[in-house]
Amino acid sequence: MTEKFFITTAIDYINAKPHIGHAYEKVAADVLARFYSAKYGRDRVRFLTGTDEHGSKIEKAAAASGVALKEFTDQTAAQFSFAWDQLNIQPDRLIRTTDADHIKTVEDLLIKIKDNGYVYEGEYSGLYCVSCETFYPEKDLIDGLCPIHKTKPELVTEKNWFLKVSEFTGKIKESIEKDELKIWPVERKNEILSLLEQGFNDIAISRPNVKWGIPLPWDKEQTVYVWVDALINYVTGAKDENGKDWWPANCHIIGKDISKFHCIIWPAILLAAGLPLPKEVVVHGYLTVGGEKMSKSIGNVIDPNDWVAKYGADAVRYLLLREVAFGDDGDVSEEKLKTRYEGELANGLGNLVSRVTTLAEKYLGGKYESQKNIFYCDFSKEKKEIEAEIANFRFHTALSKIWEQVIIANKIVDEKKLWDLAKSDLAEFSDVSHHLIARIYFVAEQLEPFLPESSLKILDHLKKYPIIKAEPLFPRILNS
């Protein structure tokens, strides 16, 4: 048994509202947190997410909205918190980089790095993408444009304070090669090793012309570079309200566009501060819509709140982790959500629970010889297989294996003609019903990390005695 499991996500930049891509990562982290809570106990799991609220991009967004900076950050951070509540995502902390304890952590950690001799002052000239808040080498541009935002970077020359990343690249490379710092999936690991092989320059940890940020402790004319500020949130959030320090993280979940920051720069910051490296960085792909990456300019950004309002949180969670293999890019749409909702959820799981409980109430009065018969079947082999898929971030495969049990149960109902069997052979009907109830119970237990509301409804219903007809789990969607 592990002593603890500390899981984090990237913190979201609040220059715009949350979209379904943000939700994808947070749902996956919530599934892992629930899974390990069931396995080890809730007090051994910590789940951290939050919002990234400093930098020039936030300044510009606030100015464009005509709202004061602090008010703007409060309003937009609340939108992320609301979206995660709607999706039943339950972190232990929603950290904000404007939180007082985070500002103190950043100051203390950077002073420690400077005292350790890993910071120096210098001048830097480079191509800077304002949208990414990132400097890009010319070789990383695509047709002279930022690879993420397709905009032309600005040539910026300025005096900064630098971190000696180059001092640590050998140690970082060795840690990755030995899987002391695991990177999943393997293609992302190979990409990072290739970057390290090419050589990795020292990075600026401060900016002179960005006012909305944390002042550098020893040079108040500069603010901490927003990416450095953001990464340190993991150390801030590792300390819980009881003073327990959960660092190092067992698992950072991030998108592939920020893998360089988490697999090279972040380890360098930690090593410079004398802190241990995280255990693993899990890198997911992009969600696309109609084959295109979500973009406000294209107009294909999906607000998760819209889908939750129409289909419910569990259906959205199900689509996100069933539709796309977690490490790959994949396309989502409302049409796909509707198909999954009506097929696997309503007609598959929902119909199964409804049919079996209806017949049990009608022909057995919901009564069984013993409630322990609900647990009659042995699903230990299937449980082990499903748990292995979740632990290895193959969420879509885990759900597929769970749904194999739903399909088997529905097939038993149809092949045994359960409604006729109840009239012709009540004893066999009772035995088959016991088996089906046990299988449904098993399905509900395995679904708890993925579909917490629906699984709880099923489990609560089956624990009642006598069993009565269940209300529809996934009602028909009106105007769909």
Helix axes 313-323, 395-415, angle to 10 degrees: 110
Taken in order 191, 192, 194, 200, the sign of the CA dihedral is positive
Residues 395 and 28: their CA atoms lie apart, in Å, by 8
Of 26, 54, 114, 132, which residue is the catalytic one?
132
Task: For residue 263, indicate whether it is catalytic.
Answer: no
Q: Is 211 a catalytic residue?
A: no
Known catalytic residue: 146?
yes
CA distance 452 to 454: 6
Cβ-proximal residues to 277 (8 Å cutoff; 6+ apart), any chain? 175, 180, 181, 248, 267, 270, 271
The C-alpha atoms of residue 212 and residue 231 are separated, in whole angstroms, by 17
Amino acid identity of residue 175, one-letter, is S
Tell me how far apart the alpha carbons of residues 317 and 311 are, in angstroms, rounded to a whole number: 10
Distance CA 12, CA 258 (A): 12
Six-digit token pair at 190?
Answer: 């190979």
Distance CA 12, CA 35 (A): 24
Longest dimension (CA), the chain: 88
Residue from 171, 293, 310, 457 carrying the catalytic annotation: 293
Q: Tell me, what's the pLDDT at 367? A: 60
Determine which one of 54, 114, 129, 434 is catalytic: 129
Q: Are 45 and 5 in contact (CB under 8 A)?
A: yes
Whole-structure pTM value: 0.92
Q: Which helix (H) or strand (E) holds 251?
A: strand 251-255
Lookup result for tokens 């660092």: 247
Tokens 């597929």 appear where?
Answer: 400
Domain locations in the chain as residue ranges: 5-284, 333-463
C-beta separation of 326 from 395 below 8 A: yes
Q: What is the per-residue pLDDT for 264? A: 98
119: helix, strand or coil: strand
Q: Provide the 3-class DSSP secondary structure of residue 183.
A: strand
Which member of 104, 152, 296, 417 is catalytic? 296
Burial (CB count <10 Å: 0-12, 13-18, 19+), residue 472: exposed
How far apart are alpha carbons 72 and 330 in whole angstroms? 32
* Catalytic residue check, 19: yes
Antiparallel, parallel or unpaired: β 119-129 and 154-163: antiparallel
Q: Tell me the one-letter amino acid at 473.
A: L
Enumerate residues 6+ apart whose C-beta is below 8 A from 141: 127, 147, 153
**Catalytic site includes residue 296:** yes
- Annotated active-site residue 57? The verdict is no
Q: Which of 26, 57, 114, 146 is catalytic?
A: 146
What local confidence, expressed as pLDDT, does residue 366 receive?
A: 57
- With b for 16 or more beta-carbon neighbours within 10 A and e for fewer, the 149-183 pattern comes to eeeebeeeeeebbbbbbeebbeebbebbeeeebbb
pLDDT in tens, the chain (480 residues): 457 999 999 999 998 899 999 999 999 999 999 999 999 999 999 999 999 999 988 999 899 999 999 999 999 999 999 999 999 999 999 999 999 999 999 999 999 999 999 999 998 777 878 776 677 777 778 878 887 767 888 887 789 999 999 999 999 999 999 999 999 999 999 999 999 999 888 999 999 988 999 999 999 999 999 999 999 999 999 999 999 999 999 999 999 999 999 999 999 999 999 999 999 999 999 999 888 877 766 778 899 999 999 999 999 999 999 999 999 999 999 999 999 999 999 999 999 999 999 998 898 875 655 444 444 578 999 999 999 999 999 999 999 999 999 999 999 999 999 999 999 999 889 889 989 999 999 999 999 999 999 999 999 998 887 788 889 999 988 665
One-letter amino acid for residue 43 of the chain: D
- The third-level CATH classification (topology) of the domain covering 333-463 is Isoleucyl-tRNA Synthetase; Domain 1 (1.10.730)
pLDDT of residue 2: 59
Contacts of 182 (CB under 8 A, 6+ apart): 189, 279, 280, 281
In angstroms, rounded to a whole number, what is the distance separating the alpha carbons of residues 254 and 9? 6
In the structure encoding, which two tokens stand for residue 112, read together? Answer: 């420690």
- The DSSP output letter for 323 is H
> ω before 452 within 30° of 0 (cis)?
no
Residue with tokens 């191509």: 127
Q: Are 438 and 373 within 8 A, CB to CB?
A: yes
Please give the order of strands across the beta sheet that includes 206-207: 206-207, 219-224, 215-216
DSSP codes, 265-311: IHHHHHHHHT-PPPSEEEEE--EEETTEE--TTTT----HHHHHHHH
Name the token pair of 427.
């004893």
pLDDT at 296: 66
CATH H-level, domain 5-284: superfamily:
HUPs (3.40.50.620)
